Amino acid sequence: MKKRMTRREAETAKKRAASFVEHVLDDSDHAQEIDDLDLDSWAEKRGVTITNPAKGANMATEKTLRKLSKDELIDRVIEVEDENSTLTEKLDEINSIVTSEDDSDDEGDDSDDED
């Protein structure tokens, strides 16, 4: 199954790929080739399906959703649930970092109360 990305995600991935090739692999010619490809060509070459190809729309319209088959809708729901789960995990990690920083700040404040 092809990887699915929104147009914005694909644009970001393409920019990151070009940057990686230029700065990490030190191949500015290949990086320029990546930059020169239009987004749809790059996506096709990488095996990426752009999920909102029409004029960079941010959200699928109701009309577009009606055209999708039940299996495609189920796949999309699974994809969104996976993305939601990943984002929730990231938020939990951030929360635990912030909470641990707050706890360590509070411990440092206790010594000031003795004066």
The per-residue pLDDT for range 2-59, each reduced to its tens digit, is 788 888 888 899 999 999 988 888 889 998 999 898 888 888 888 888 887 655 444 5
pLDDT at res. 6: 87
The per-residue pLDDT for range 52-83, each reduced to its tens digit, is 765 544 455 565 656 777 778 888 888 888 88
> What global pTM score does this model have?
0.45
pLDDT at res. 59: 54
pLDDT at res. 29: 92
Closest C-alpha to 44, from 9, 20, 76, 10: 10
**Phi, psi of 3, deg, nearest 5:** -75, 140
* Boundaries of every domain in the chain: 1-60, 68-115
Report the C-alpha gap between 112 and 115 in whole angstroms. Answer: 6
